[in-house]
Amino acid sequence: MHALVYTDTQTLVYREEKNPTEKPGESILKIQASGICGSDMHAYHGHDERRIPPLILGHEVSGVIQNGKFKDKTVVLNPLITCGNCEYCKQGREHLCPDRSILGMSKPIKREGGLAEYVSIPDKNIYEIPKGLDTKEAAVAEPTAVSLHAVLLGEQTLKKPISECRVLIQGGGAIGLLCGLILAKDKGCRNIVLSDPNKKRLDECSKYLNAKYVAPNDKIINSNGFDIVFDSVGLEVSRQQAIEVVAPGGSIIHIGLTQPAGTFNFRKLTLQEITLVGTYCYTNKDFQQTINLLHNKKLGPLNWIEYRELKNGANAFKEIHDGTCVAPKIILIP
């Protein structure tokens, strides 16, 4: 098969790789669409010790199963593979499983990812795509589940309905936009500000989400001005801004993974009883709910997705790296 292989920092090579082989309890997917995730970009930049080259990246995947009990079914994959037996899995918090692994990752177990023509996946991670949901669009289920989980966690921390909250979303990539779409179209939020330094990306997002669109340094992002902040960036500077602008008693939902550490105003966090929540991935329940949201068109048209050929994937990564990419999400087609 052909695959886009991460071979070194900022280096991807489109080349022949061995096809996955059949394993008990797993099925092989012929891939029809595979998205580029922010975590793939972390690897591309050489900042992810869990993804070691050479490796096929990619975990936002849909296509047609080639063998086993799901043979010929059109499906989307939940790429988060968990043990099913630990206390977290039994509590329905599978994403916290200490033995979790994911497609397109080297640790704790190497699993080649979905930026290829075929991939192997445990049967329990396969979800049939309902009629009416485009197979290529279904590949966005994974980042949508991440965003849904973040919104639901944030909602649980608030003392008033989230629909009445002043909301700041930092970052206009797929996670930021999807958080906004879920908040606006599923939760009824009407007071959303979305910030991003890329004006062209803001213009693209504005076609799909009713919000105020500003640069990160805009004066509208004022001290104590927001009940809840969704940081989909994860930079030291975005965290510093989040704690500055969140209102007393408010919440910061930290989703981004760009920088692992940095200075932060813990004094305000303590004195003003700010809730800080880190969030990673999603539960199986979230993933199923996400498929229903997409199937029922609850998030509106997904024309903000840009589709490109897998063989041109290296250039797509470079454009995202350079900041010249306008689309919040690029999905590669084998």
β-pairing, 226-231 vs 246-254, is: parallel
When divided into structural domains, the chain yields a total of 2
129 & 155 share domain: no
> What residues contact residue 304 under an 8 Å CB cut-off, 6+ apart?
177, 204, 205, 207, 208, 327, 328, 329
Q: Give domain status of residue 135, yes or no.
A: yes
The answer to whether 39 touches 131, Cβ cutoff 8 Å, is no
Q: Give domain status of residue 292, yes or no.
A: no
Q: Give domain status of residue 106, yes or no.
A: yes
pLDDT in tens, the chain (334 residues): 999 999 999 999 999 999 999 999 999 999 999 999 999 999 999 999 999 999 999 999 999 999 999 999 999 999 999 999 999 999 999 999 999 999 999 999 999 999 999 999 999 999 999 999 999 999 999 999 999 999 999 999 999 999 999 999 999 999 999 999 999 999 999 999 999 999 999 999 999 999 999 999 999 999 999 999 999 999 999 999 999 999 999 999 999 999 999 999 999 999 999 999 999 999 999 999 999 999 999 999 999 999 999 999 999 999 999 989 999 999 999 9
Q: Give domain status of residue 264, yes or no.
A: yes
Q: Give domain status of residue 86, yes or no.
A: yes
192 & 120 share domain: no
Q: For residue 170, which phi and psi values (nearest 5 degrees)?
A: -95, 115
The answer to whether 316 touches 330, Cβ cutoff 8 Å, is yes
Q: Give domain status of residue 67, yes or no.
A: yes
Q: Give domain status of residue 295, yes or no.
A: no
160 & 251 share domain: yes
Q: Give domain status of residue 288, yes or no.
A: no
CATH code, domain with 15? 3.90.180.10
Q: What is the largest CA-CA distance in the chain?
A: 58
29 & 81 share domain: yes
Give the pTM.
Answer: 0.97
CATH code, domain with 260? 3.40.50.720
Q: Give the integer Cα–Cα distance in Å for 136 and 297.
A: 14
Domain of 191 in residue numbering reads as: 144-278
The answer to whether 45 touches 321, Cβ cutoff 8 Å, is yes
99 & 46 share domain: yes
Angle at 93 (CA atoms; ends 90, 96), nearest 5 degrees: 110
